[in-house]
A and B are shown apart, each in its own frame.
Chain A
Amino acid sequence: NFFPNISSIPPSFLPNHTTNPWDTFNKLSGCRSGQKVDGIAKLKTYFHYFGYLANTTGNFSDDFDDALEAAVKNYQKNFNLNTTGELDTSTVNQILKPRCGVPDIVNGTTTMNSGKTTSFQHSVAH
């Protein structure tokens, strides 16, 4: 489906006729740790695919558990979002964006923001 410009795209290719495979994540907006919501398992698959979540069991539950919260926090760090650990609107909007299929975290390591040591971790507390 190659087109020289947007105006040359036939109506059958416009948004009303297409769906983003991640659109269902919209309904998870506002979810936080401790909740159980339909669709969380699919979100965990998303985070697993991009390297944020390990899968030790072979499948995922719909529980918003500690591992998912940590994954969300790392994702938020990598994309310069507020590190809340919750699926706030800005985080869900970022997740919905089309993206490269290469994982952000490979074999558990990354030098994106979540893999960097922040300066305050080197400071000495009073």
Chain B
Amino acid sequence: YSFFPGTPRWPSRRRDLTYAFDPRNELSEDVKRVFANAFSRWSEWTPLTFTNISDYSSADMKIGFYSGDHGDDEPFDGVLGTLAHAFAPPTGLLHLDNAETWIINDVFTSGSSSSTAMDLESVAVHEIGHLLGLGHSSVENAIMYPTIASGVKKVELDRDDVEGIQVLYGTNPENNGTVGPSFGEREMSGVARGSIG
């Protein structure tokens, strides 16, 4: 795992964070539920909680889908290429490329690369890691690994992700398994594994 320069994180007095969706996107409840699931992947291992609120302007984290140049000097490039980006704490901006074909329900099978479709929850879990202060990881199975193939669903935190986020925020007091998922547990869950750092 890695952190942004200076190791920015949400201050200790702020463990109950809010997020909201850009109202101009008019996202469906199905899409919003994908993000709720993605946030829960991180709250499971940390003392952080995440609540969806309707007031976009006051939310700690703001989520939106945009095309091309959208005002932050990081223009999107159309289908594939860069899929999304997010900013370190306390900026709280998560932007996704509106040009992508996003899948919101289906469970992909690894290697179904016949489509350019990208799994939304997989990308959302990764970008939330940035919102919380994690940089990219060289561990291929980590959520914070920078690339993801089309047609792949990768949503479970790797031990590397859990260790990184717990350096920033500590453990979830309600979760007994505070050391993070082990290699053996993840293999048993059927997640395809490669190298682990």
Q: Tell me the A residues contacting B by CB distance below 8 Å.
A: 1-6, 9, 13-15, 18-22, 50, 77-80, 94, 97-102, 104, 106-107, 109-113, 115
A20/B135 contact (C-beta < 8 A), A98-B150, A99-B146 known: no
Interface centre among A2, A110, A113 (most CB of B within 10 A): A2
* 9 pairs, CB–CB < 8 Å, chain A vs chain B: A9-B101, A14-B116, A22-B80, A94-B147, A98-B150, A100-B127, A100-B147, A107-B5, A110-B2
A80/B138 contact (C-beta < 8 A), A2-B31, A14-B115, A20-B80 known: yes
B55 contacts partner chain A, Cβ-Cβ < 8 Å: no
B23 CB to nearest chain A CB (Å) = 17
A102 pairs with B136, CB closer than 8 A:
yes
| 5 A-B pairs closest in CB distance | A5-B106, A101-B85, A101-B82, A111-B2, A97-B147
A12 CB to nearest chain B CB (Å) = 10
A3 pairs with B117, CB closer than 8 A:
yes
Chain A residues, Cβ within 8 Å of B1: 111
A24 CB to nearest chain B CB (Å) = 11
Starting from the known contacts A9-B101, A77-B138, 11 additional A-B residue pairs (CB-CB under 8 Å) come to: A2-B120, A6-B103, A13-B116, A15-B116, A22-B81, A80-B138, A98-B148, A100-B127, A109-B5, A110-B136, A112-B137
Q: How many residues of B contact A (CB 8 A)?
A: 53
Chain B residues, Cβ within 8 Å of A3: 101-104, 117
A23 CB to nearest chain B CB (Å) = 9
Q: Mark B82-93, 1 if CB is under 8 A from A, else 0.
A: 111110000000
- The total number of A-B Cβ pairs within 8 Å is 134
Contact residue among A2, A98, A102 (Cβ-Cβ distance under 8 Å from B104) = A2
Closest B-chain residue to A104, C-beta based?
A: B136
A97 pairs with B149, CB closer than 8 A:
yes
Closest B-chain residue to A78, C-beta based?
A: B138
A2 pairs with B126, CB closer than 8 A:
no
B48 CB to nearest chain A CB (Å) = 20
Q: How far is the CA of A79 from the CA of B3 in the complex (A)?
A: 17
B81 pairs with A21, CB closer than 8 A:
yes
Q: Which of B13-21, B71-79, B173-181 contacts A (4 or more CB under 8 A)?
A: B71-79
B137 pairs with A102, CB closer than 8 A:
no
Chain B residues, Cβ within 8 Å of A18: 79-80, 116
Q: How far is the CA of A13 from the CA of B114 in the complex (A)?
A: 11
Chain B residues, Cβ within 8 Å of A50: 146
B115 pairs with A15, CB closer than 8 A:
yes
Q: How far is the CA of A109 from the CA of B4 in the complex (A)?
A: 9
B158 contacts partner chain A, Cβ-Cβ < 8 Å: no
Q: How far is the CA of A5 from the CA of B118 in the complex (A)?
A: 10
B140 pairs with A101, CB closer than 8 A:
no
